[in-house]
Amino acid sequence: MMLSLAIMSLAIACLPAVMFAKNLPAFLFPVASGTENGRDKDCSYDRKDTVDYGGVSVLIPARDEQDGIAASVNAALCSQGVDVEVLVLDDQSTDRTAEIVQRIAVADSRVRYLKGEDLPEGWNGKQFGCKQLSEAAEYETLVFLDADVRLKADALRRLVACYESLGVGLLSVFPLQETETLLEKWIIPLMHYVLLGYCPLHRMRTDLRPALAAGCGQLFVTKQNAYQKAGTHAAIRGSRHDGVKLPRAYREAGLMTDVYDGQELAECRMYHSAHEVIRGVLKNATEGLASLKLLFPFTVLLIGGSVLPVALVASSLALGDTVAAFVAGVAVLVGHFPRVFAALRLSQSWLGVLCHAPATLLFVLLQWIALLSHLAGRQVAWRGRTSS
């Protein structure tokens, strides 16, 4: 019995390990940096550098973002190789967000402050903010940016070059995810584990089906014509998970999408505490894995390949079944392989690697809590809002 379970766990663990190894080279950003570390020392702005890549509208929806909005805006203003404007929409913030942005706008004419309209029924605040920003944008190239993301100096130039070379309708990248607290190190790297371990990137890039859509809502690049064809953010007006839903809307409109690693392009600290991590996972879960269709098979895959092998090693040794313990031990190594690879190539926490099994167990548990809460008609509040 133990040996059969160990063999099964090894087989399940091999799937994300093989997929991750195949996906990772294809996930790395394809346009090289033209400056050392992608950042200029003096953050100077020279209009002559904008000839090759034209203008970019950086669009930042912000609600109670006083702690990070200045860093985000100022980093975008340091962009080299593009003519940039930065639009920040204040979505009824109750903190100093508006004051901070207005002060920057007075000092730099490339920054525009927009006061958000009242949120219509049925809309998510971020999606409505992004739509308002797109309507005010001056340039054809749009970069939707979360308010906690800080671009490197050459990021916009490289993003535009990549977007134009790929010929897609929507491009997104995953910024370098800064993690400080224990639960951040445990949970946040799992988004790369799930994406690269179970989504076939090569197939995604040749197959237009919406079911293969993947992206990161922290940073999107698109053009106005493609954005309008996809239905704008109105196509996902009620969604909290634009990382999945917006690429899906583009594909439904016949436009290809793509996603890459963006650790060389931008940095972001998504959450700042265990409480925020848990609420952040719960708020997005039902539009991701926590659906009736996906959650049961993913529970089998995630628990079977990452948690079960650890339990089997302990129980097999306790029962004296050395063969089963050996096979389960191999499954543990295989199951941790993607996390080791991610730590080496994607700058992820080694503590997260060591705690992969309990982190996966907690992640799956949160998915089930989210699904059961959704079925009970309860939704996690975020930024003071629940349904919108």
Query: In whole angstroms, what is the distance from residue 114 CA to residue 333 CA?
Result: 51
Q: Which CATH number is associated with domain 28-271?
A: 3.90.550.10
What pLDDT, on the 0 to 100 scale, is given for residue 44? 57
Question: Do 176 and 72 touch, CB atoms closer than 8 A?
Answer: no
Please state, in angstroms and rounded to a whole number, the distance separating the CA atoms of residues 81 and 90.
28
Contact 256, 210 (CB under 8 A): no
For residue 215, the model assigns a pLDDT of 95
Q: What confidence tens digit (pLDDT) does each residue in 52-74 have?
A: 668 999 999 999 999 999 999 99
DSSP string of 103-151, one letter each residue: HHHHH-TTEEEEEPPPPPTT--HHHHHHHHHHHH--SSEEEEE-TTEEE
Mark 146-175 as b/e (b = at least 16 C-beta within 10 Å).
bbbbbbbbbbbbbbbbbbeebebbbbbbbb
What pLDDT sits at residue 161? 96
* The pLDDT value given to residue 37: 45
* Euclidean distance between CA atoms 14 and 54, whole angstroms: 46
288 or 297, higher pLDDT: 297
Interval 82-132: pLDDT, tens: 999 999 999 999 999 999 999 999 999 999 999 999 999 999 999 999 999
Q: Which residue has the higher pLDDT, 347 or 283?
A: 347
Report the pLDDT value the prediction gives residue 35, as an integer from 0 to 100: 55
**Mean pLDDT within 244-269:** 97
Q: What share of the chain is helix, strand, coil (3-state, %, to 5)?
A: 55, 15, 30
Confidence band for 50, pLDDT divided at 50, 70 and 90: very low
Residue 86 φ/ψ, nearest 5 degrees: -120, 115
* pTM, 2 dp: 0.91
Q: Average the pLDDT over 289-296 and give the result.
A: 89
Residue with tokens 């014509």: 225
- Domain span(s) for CATH 3.90.550.10 in the chain: 28-271
Among 287, 232, 311, smallest CA distance to 8 is for: 311
- The answer to whether 261 touches 173, Cβ cutoff 8 Å, is yes
| Least confident stretch, 41-45, 60-64, 158-162, 337-341 | 41-45
Backbone φ, ψ for residue 235 (5° rounding):
-70, -20
Residue 41's pLDDT is what? 47
Q: What is the pLDDT of residue 385?
A: 64
pLDDT at 288 over 90: no
H or E element, residue 86: strand 83-90
Q: Are strands 170-177 and 149-151 parallel, antiparallel or unpaired?
A: unpaired
Lowest-confidence segment of 48-62, 136-150, 356-370 by average pLDDT:
48-62
pLDDT at 77: 97
Runs of H (alpha helix) within 206-294? 224-229, 242-252, 274-285
Q: How large a percentage of the chain has pLDDT more than 90? A: 85
- Indicate whether 386 pLDDT > 70: no
Q: Would you state the pLDDT for residue 378?
A: 83
Q: In percent, how much of the chain has pLDDT > 70?
A: 93
pLDDT band at 283 (very low <50, low <70, confident <90, very high): confident
Q: Cα separation of 50 and 80, whole Å? A: 7
Say which DSSP state 95 is in: S
Instruction: Give the Cα separation of 353 and 350 in Å (integer).
Output: 5
Q: What is the mean pLDDT of residues 151-169?
A: 97
How many Å separate Cα 222 from the centre of its chain? Answer: 16
